[in-house]
Amino acid sequence: MSLSLVVAPAFASTSGHAPAARPVASSTATGGERKRMNREVFDQVWGEVRTEYYDPRLHGVDWNAARRSFRPRALAAHDDRTLYAVLEEMLGLLDDDHAGAAPPAVARRQDAQYARRAAIGVTLRPDPAHPGDYRIESVRAGSPADRAGVMDGWRLQSGEGRWSPDQDVVDGRTLNLTFIDEEGQTRPLDLTPVVMEARPPFVADRTRPGVVVLRVEGFEPGLGRWMGAQLSDVAPETDVIIDLRGNPGGRLAEADAVLSCFLPRDQAWATRTPRSGSPVTLSTAGGCGDLRAPIANSVAVLVDSDSRSAAELTPAALQEARRAVIIGERTAGAVLISQESRLPDGGRLTLSRSDFITSGGVRLEKRGVTPDREASVTREDRREGRDPALDAAIAALSGETALASAAPSL
C-alpha cells in the first residue's frame, strides 16, 4: 500500500539499514517449522534487549519474567500477525517508542519505500482508539485508493480474516478491505494494487518568490549531498524552509550532514550515552554535499506531532544554536538513538542503543521539541490544499530580523 508504511512509530531509526536477511520462512508455515522460527525470532529479540538496550536496568522491567510470560505465547503463534503482536506487547513493557518489531512483509515494504512497487496508495498508522486497526494518514492522488474514494481520516479494520500490514501487497492481487468512514459507516472495498512510481524522499519547491522549501520525507542516504546541492546556488536574500512534518527520522549521519549546512564545523550539538555509560559528544563533521561553508540565510523548520527521532534532534540543535525558527506542533518525543537488526524470518527489530541529550542539556525523549511559533494543519486544510503552517513559516521569516542577527558568524 503506498504503505510508506508508517505502520508504527517504533519502526523509525537513527541508524543505517540492517544487513541482508537470511532466507525467510513463509508466514503460513505450520507445525515444527513454524515453532522453530518463532523460537529463533523470539530468542533473538529477547536476547538483544537483555544485552544491548541502552539502559542496562531496562527501565526496571523484570526481563526474565517477561521471557517466562511471553515465550510460550510466541512459540504457539500460528502466523506472523500473532507472533509480532506478542513481540510488540513484550517490547511495550519498555515504554520506548523506538523499541519495536516489524513483521517480514512490513520490513520488505520499508526497504522498498522509495522504490517502484505495488501499492494501493495509502499511508497507515495504528489507531490507538481501536487496537489492531489502522488510521488512513494520507491517500496518494491517482492511486487505486484515491479512485475508489478512500479518504484520509478513515479507519482500516484489521484482525482475524482481514488483510493487515503483516501481509504482502502484490501487483494485481485484489485486497478485500473494510473501512470505517468519518461518519462511522462501514465501507467494504475491493482494491487491486498496481505498480506505482516511488515518491522521492527529498523535494525542493521553488515556486514561491524569495523562498525555497526543502521537503524531507526521511533522513535517508544522500540527504546531506542533496541538501548541499539545493543550497549551493541559493541567493543570500532567499529564505530557507525545511519541512520535517511527518518525518519518522533515519540516519544519524544524515542529520549531522544537514546541521553542517547551517552550523560551523566541529560545533557540538548533542551528547549520546550508550549502555556503557560513557558519553560521546556529537559535533558537526561536514557532509553537506559540495557546500564549502554553512549558509547564512534565514531558516525555518516545520515540525508536527509526527516528526520523530532525527526529525526532532535536528530542529532542536538549530533552535538551541539560534540558527532557525521552529514552526508547527510539539514533536513526538521519540529521540533515543536506535539501531536495527534483521530477525531470522526477515523481520526487523528496532532497539534504542543510546540515550540522547541536546547540547543545552535537554532530554527530548517523552518531551519533544517545542516550536517557537505554533501552527497546525487540519484535515480540512489538507483536503482544500491549504497549508497554514507553511504560511506561518514564510511570514515568520519575512519579519525575522532578530534571527538573522543571532546567527553565528561564518
Q: Give the separation between CA 227 and CA 362, rounded to whole angstroms.
A: 27
**Is 91 contained in some domain?**
no
Across all residues in the chain, what is the average pLDDT? 88
Range of the domain at 146: 116-196
What does pTM read for this prediction? Answer: 0.83
The residue from 196, 228, 253 where one domain ends is 196
CATH value at residue 254: 3.90.226.10
> What is the C-alpha R_g of the chain?
22
Residues 322-380: tens digit of each pLDDT: 999 999 999 999 999 999 999 999 999 999 999 999 999 999 999 999 999 999 999 88
The residue from 196, 220, 248 where one domain ends is 196
CB 287 within 8 A of CB 258: no
- Looking at the structure, tell me whether residues 130 and 226 fall in a common domain: no
Residues 44-96: tens digit of each pLDDT: 999 999 999 999 999 999 999 999 999 999 999 999 999 999 999 999 999 99
- Looking at the structure, tell me whether residues 121 and 192 fall in a common domain: yes
- Looking at the structure, tell me whether residues 135 and 206 fall in a common domain: no
Higher pLDDT, 179 or 29: 179
